[in-house]
A = this chain, B = another copy of it.
Amino acid sequence: MILKLGYDILFELPAPVAMVALLNVHPSRFNDLRVPDVVRTEPVVNVDSYLDSYGNRCTRFVAPQGLIRLHGATEINDTGRPDPVNWSAREIPVQELPSEMLRYLLNSRYCEVDRFSAIALELFGGVTPGWSRVQAVCDWVHSKVTFGYQYARPTKSALDVYTERFGVCRDFQHLAVTMCRALNIPARYATGYLGDIGVVVAPSPMDFSAWFEVYLEDRWWTFDARHNQPRIGRVLMATGRDASDVALTTSFGVANLKEFSVVTEEVA
């Protein structure tokens, strides 16, 4: 399967601002790209690229005063298969986890693991460890939280989601990630493209989406507490501890979003 990917984002800036964008496909998918994946700006500005401490490809530049458009378009090969499911994937005891996984057990801004120890144990302590337990977390979050774009806010943390029970993609994943970490299961936040392939087309315009990854057995696996079903055509862009690490764009000053559109669809 071939997927067409693209985005078009317009900001208005009252003054020049340094920006960082995580708008590239994740390095783990570079070999699947059929077309170079380049972040373009209008007006054209000098753009630098680097890998952050999580291994994401980042783009940084200084946006001049006025309007700046970020856009990109590429094509990528995809297996066309849904997210893998493996009910026999085991939880790895902390002492056997690779060292580089340990940071995915710790607190982060939107994942207050330290405040969920008792709650997570009460809800999921009795569930069969491994894939079943992570799936139980997803089922719980999916059934308890109601989706709505009007519930988005930048400072909302897992504890807010747990008490308010309303949110957007990111909020579902933050709560699930926090529950997993509180159970000593490494979990990280993920963002990327997610289209409508194989599902009923949602009435709202396409958007980037968030999901999360969990380390079981010997690798990371994709989970999605928002949709809670295996999906076809996810294209990973970035992973990190939570949304703070992998914002699509981070502006170190005032930047007003004016327009935003995303494309992700199968090439016929």
Contact = CB atoms under 8 A, between A and B. Distances in A.
Interface string A93-107: 111000110110111
Given A103-B52, A109-B112, A252 B62 contact: no
Given A18-B95, A116-B163, A107 B244 contact: yes
Interface in A108-140: 108-112, 114-116, 118-119
Number of copies: 4
Nearest to A247: B106
A9 interface: no
Nearest to A159: B163
A60 interface: yes
A42 interface: no
Contacts of A144: 118
Nearest to A245: B106
A102 B159 contact: no
Interface stretch (A147-155, A213-221, A256-264): A147-155
Q: Quick one: which of A119, A164, A184 has the most chain B CB within 10 A?
A: A164
Interface in A52-76: 52-53, 58, 60-62
A142 interface: no
B58 A99 contact: yes
Contacts of A87: none
Interface string A225-248: 000000000000000000011000
A20 interface: yes
